[in-house]
Amino acid sequence: MKKEYSSIPQSMAKMDTYGFSWMDFITAIPTPLFVVTSYKSSGKPNACLQSWACFNGEPGRFFAILSCVNKAGHLYQTIKDTGDMVLNFPSADIYDSYAKTITNNTIKIQETNVDISFLKSELKNFLDVDGRLKSYPSKHRLKTLSLFYLASKLEFGRRYTEIELNQVLCDWHTYEDWAMLRRDLYDKRFIDREPNCSFYWMEGNQPSLTEFGLE
């Protein structure tokens, strides 16, 4: 892959080059040369650009030592959980489309389809001063809103063991019925799980109020 520059690229006009000239930064600081692809826990594809790496191998085995894999990113989580990834060496004509994926590599808090301030307002009689659910509403509307609220406390892209998921639920309710809350989150499709219940994760497409007839 090759790119030629005779003047500072427009994309670098306001970039911090940490004391280097723009030319030094381009020629001396590695830029992404290959792409590691994998699948997120939600089943969606993920691309992570890499530069510094060491490759080695022998018949039947190949090693790629990546110098920097963000522990807060999808790639690290996928490699840790499955050990699967693919190394890609793209041509320059599709380089920019790969570069755009950088902003999506960090695991972020999943945003539910309901505003959190709305949920707090609707559930104010069921939340304690620390924002924890102190009782499970009996009415369908408020019970469902409670699930939206609890789902907002989970991280999108993270795979939870049952113990880890239970701990999050324990942190956000006070009446110690995490098993029922975990089951209801699954039944209402806020979370999915492995068939043997070894891992849980946020559904890629979160439910909306309309789906429950609440709008």
Per-residue pLDDT reduced to its tens digit, 22-64: 677 666 655 557 888 887 655 667 777 777 777 777 777 777 7
Number of residues that make up the chain: 215
Q: Is residue 172's pLDDT more than 50?
A: yes
The residue among 95 and 182 whose pLDDT is bigger is 182
Domain edges within the chain: 32-104, 116-212
Mean pLDDT of the region 73-92: 78
Q: Is residue 202's pLDDT more than 70?
A: yes
Pair type for strands 45-50 and 61-66? unpaired
Q: What was the pLDDT predicted at 126?
A: 96
The dihedral sign for the CA sequence 103, 107, 113, 114: negative
Give the span between the Cα atoms of 110 and 116, in whole angstroms: 12
Phi and psi for 88 in degrees, rounded to 5?
Answer: -125, 140
Residue 110: CB partners within 8 Å, gap ≥ 6? 151, 152, 154, 155, 156, 157, 202, 206
Letter string b/e over residues 21-45, b meaning 16 or more CB atoms within 10 A of that residue's CB: eeeebbeeeeeeebbbbbebbbeee
pTM exceeds 0.85, yes or no: no
Q: Is residue 200's pLDDT more than 90?
A: yes
Judged on CB neighbours under 10 Å (0-12, 13-18, 19+), 160 is buried
Beta-bridge partner residues of 173 = 133
Q: Is residue 198's pLDDT more than 80?
A: yes
Tokens of 61: 């085995």
